[in-house]
Amino acid sequence: MTVWLSSPVMRSMSEFARDLSPLENGGILLGWRSGEDRVIVDLRGPGPRALHGRHCFLPDHEWQVAEIESAFEASAGDLDYLGDWHSHPDGVAKMSDLDSATLLRIARRVSAPLMLIVAGSETEWTPQCWKGQVVRPLIRRRLVATPQELKIFDPPSV
């Protein structure tokens, strides 16, 4: 799978991350599936009731669900929820145990969700992306989080 990330969305994530640094910030990724690929063309932030900490972030879930529904309706069904994103200020773009648990929870409801992390500081943010998948061994479910190729693209002006 290749994850295509529009440059305006990357700029928005960087701005959200910078605005609350050194606290984590995040939100949801919107776009579409194209075969195995994912195309991220929009995002939403954390929501008004989100909680931000140095090493964790809790989104305003109800607000985000309403935003997903609104984006879906406004785009006549073109935009869909693809996964979550958040920042690791002054850190690395690597999934923590909490990030893995969050991705597993999402993967129980959404097929092959994405987890995108932007890490960095005031001036430069680096993205990394994983696809989550629940596998069902005999005894218990577990998450397989696979790093994905990420390509930033400039969308057409029209």
> Whose CA is closest to 29, among 105, 125, 131, 97?
131
Q: Domain range holding 86?
A: 2-153
| Cβ neighbours for 142, distance < 8 A, ≥ 6 positions apart | 104, 134, 135
pLDDT at 142 over 80: no
CATH number at residue 131: 3.40.140.10
Say yes or no to pLDDT of 117 above 70.
Answer: yes
Phi and psi dihedrals of 129, rounded to 5? -140, 145
Query: If you average pLDDT over residues 61-78, what whole number do you get?
Result: 95
What's the whole-number mean pLDDT along residues 12-27? 96
Residue 29 inside a domain? The answer is: yes
Is a pLDDT exceeding 70 seen at residue 89?
yes
Is residue 158 in some structural domain?
no
pLDDT at 134 over 80: yes
Q: How many domains does the chain have?
A: 1
pLDDT at 137: 65
Mean pLDDT value across residues 12-32: 96
Residue 95's pLDDT is what? 93
Residue with tokens 């993205």: 127
pLDDT, position 151: 97
Return the residue matching tokens 């773009």: 93
Domain contains 8:
yes
List residues bridging with 38 in a β-sheet: 3, 33
Please state the pTM of the whole predicted model: 0.93
